[in-house]
Structure 1
Amino acid sequence: MTNLPKLTDARLTLEDRVAVLTLDRHDVRNALTGTHLIDDIIATTEWVNQCQEVSVLVITGAGSAFSAGGNIRDMAERTGDFAGDVAECAERYRRGIQRIPLAMQGVEVPVIAAVNGPAIGAGFDLANMADIRMASDRAKFGETFLNLGIIPGDGGAWFMQRQIGYQRAFELTLTGRVVEAAEAQELGIAMDVVPADELMPATLKLARRMAEQPPKATRLTKRLMKTAQRMELKDFLDLCACFQGMCHNEPEHLEAVNGMLAAMARK
């Protein structure tokens, strides 16, 4: 049995190659600052990359919210992550919440955000760091930093425009408006919207379908999808050729081919 990392404010399970990370600070609507959730997320991403028994990571929230992002009381009181002068504040961001986008960008397996409720500010950005977002009909999304007189300090301006395009991302960021689940699906933020009680079953069905794929080829494919965003075609094709050579020499490739031939023979 794989040893799971010890988390403080989140719960982690692993079943059928699908890891589920549940943010578990409902008392503060799963705020990322002022809790141990940043450390829990980092620990989980590092474990996922090292654990070959994981093929998909699902992230969701306990209670009514996915994540409220930053702790507004700490902002008002200039305490915790928001204390200090300019240099001190900047250093806390680098050593704190900015570790999440770097860690999420480096996750080697597919990541699905199961957005069970409001995903606001940094909570919205966390959802956008996933590869896919499944949303409950109770979900809401808001890039609300400007409403508080601050900027998306955790990389939100980088992620959202890559999801839905510059113009829509600009409008949502500069107005700070909160969108309901249906509009989020129309904008391309959420891939699917389902009733609240169907969110995890629908998400796990998708996750398990991905987890059934050959695990090493799945990780390489995720790397290709990420790398394609920043490489020229010729260089990208060279990388594809190398990765394909690796796949052709993996036992899982032959197992998959023989399984396909067996299935064809039964028809």
Structure 2
Amino acid sequence: MTPTSPHRSERQPLDTASPLAVHTVDAVTTWTINLPHVGNAITGTDFIAAFESAVDTANSDVAVRAVILTGAGKIFSAGGNVKEMADRQGMFGLDAIAQRHAYVDGIQRIPRALARLEVPLIAAVNGPAIGAGCDLAAMCDIRVASERASFAESFVQIGLVPGDGGTWFLQRAIGYERAAEMTLTGDRIDAATALEWGLVSRVVAHDELLTAAGELAARIAKNPPHTLRMAKRLLQESRTGVLESTLGMAAAMQPLAHRDPEHAARISRWRSS
């Protein structure tokens, strides 16, 4: 493993034309859903491709040690584009067989992309996270919420089921019973309830949201990059794998960590402190 500097000094410009604006400072990248005119709806091939590209870029850049995901404007994400559904636009105008493939080849590419993201992902939920927007937050490793945030697994209220993997992610975040309550009622919960249920790890004043998420990302980013990526992979595998598989993976990863120059440097600093 190659040692790397824990920080980068360059500031990449915000791409305001992209449906997912990407901005990197030091070792932390921020992804901003940049479609406020449609409530940051998760819609269109450009949006999905931008997510996949952002994941691939973060994975290929060992200097990136944490990612923050947030929304532009007042909404984290309103989920699917209900107007397109009502007007039968795009995939919503297809027959059932074609529409099934459109889900697989469309929105379901997002959970698959995030499943292969190697670095920790923090959702900074700045406002309502509705339907697929709620699921998108649940796909993140850690969620920090503004006091103005709210969450709803609202698919049933418009006669749909979660088509993006929400039933898988939500119950792993808050347990089956509470996920069932959210999924089967479609009711919205506020930030305080999300904190009580464990959907978010903390709730902060709205104006302090990105600062709080940035401070958390910085605490993560202080740690060795290769170790962070392996630790995240172990966490992911432990959610669904059996104990023996997790132990075997840990035993294979740990010698790599022992031989990382970052480990030797940190042990040396610990001994001299």
Q: TM-score range by the shorter chain?
A: over 0.9
1:157 partner amino acid: T
Aligned to 1:170: 180
Q: Does 1:29 align with 2:39?
A: yes
Alignment counterpart, residue 239 of structure 2, candidates 202, 226, 229: 229
Alignment of 1:60-99 (within 5 A): 60-99=70-109
Q: Partners in 1 of 2:125 and 2:69 — Cα distance?
A: 8
C-alpha separation between the residues in 2 aligned to 1:8 and 1:90? 27
- Once residues 265 and 14 of structure 2 are traced to their aligned partners in structure 1, the CA distance between those partners, rounded to angstroms, is 31
The one-character-per-residue Cα deviations of 1:150-190 (angstroms, maximum 9, x if unpaired) are: 10000000100111111110010000001111111111111
Amino acid at match of 1:20: T
Match of 2:212 in 1: 202
Q: Give, in angstroms, the shift of residue 91 of structure 1.
A: 1.1
Q: Secondary structure at the match of 1:163?
A: helix
Give the aligned CA root-mean-square deviation in angstroms. 1.7
How far apart, in 1, do the equivalents of 2:95 and 2:13 lie?
A: 38
1:85-108 C-alpha deviation (Å, 9 max, x unpaired): 001111111111000011111111
C-alpha contact 2:14 2:21 (8 A) present in aligned 1: no
The alpha-carbon distance between structure 1 residues 15 and 2, as it changes in their structure 2 partners (threshold 3 A), is closer
Equivalent AA in structure 2 for residue 66 of structure 1: F
Offset of residue 235 of structure 1: 2.5
User: Does the 8 Å CA contact 2:14/2:23 hold for their aligned counterparts?
Assistant: no
> 1:215 matched to which residue of 2?
225
The offset of 1:19, in angstroms, is 0.5
Are positions 1:110 and 2:154 aligned together?
no
Give me the whole-angstrom Cα distance separating, in 2, the residues matched to 1:146 and 1:33. 19
List gaps (5 residues or longer) in structure 2. 1-9
Higher relative contact order (CA 8 A, sep 6+): 2
Give secondary structure in 1 for the equivalent of 2:239: coil
Shift of 1:8: 2.1
Q: Report if aligned partners of 2:66, 2:121 keep a CA contact under 8 Å in 1.
A: yes
Residues 4 and 53 from structure 1, CA distance in 2 versus in 1: closer, same or farther, beyond 3 angstroms? Answer: farther
User: Kindly, what percent of the aligned residue pairs are identical?
Assistant: 43
- Counterpart position of 1:8: 18
Quick check: 1:5–1:47 contact (8 Å CA) kept in 2? no
Count how many residue pairs are aligned between Structure 1 and Structure 2: 263
Distance across 2 between alignment mates of 1:12 and 1:230: 31
**Cα offset, 1:81, TM superposition:** 2.9
Q: Does 1:256 align with 2:266?
A: yes
Runs of at least 5 residues in structure 1 that lack an aligned partner in the other structure: none
Match in the other structure for 1:185: 195
Task: Describe how 1:106-185 pairs up with structure 2 within 5 A.
Answer: 106-185=116-195
For residue 36 of structure 1, give the secondary structure of its aligned residue in structure 2. helix
SS at match of 2:249: helix
Counterpart amino acid of residue 192 in structure 2: A
CA contact (8 A) 2:12 2:24 kept: no
**Further displaced range: 55-64 or 80-89:** 80-89
Is it true that 1:59 corresponds to 2:69 in the alignment? yes
TM-score computed with the length of structure 2 as normaliser: 0.92
* Distance in 1, Cα, partners of 2:87 & 2:135: 24
State the distance in 1 between where 2:65 and 2:38 align. Answer: 30
CA shift for structure 1 position 255: 1.1
- Shift of residue 34 of structure 1? 4.0
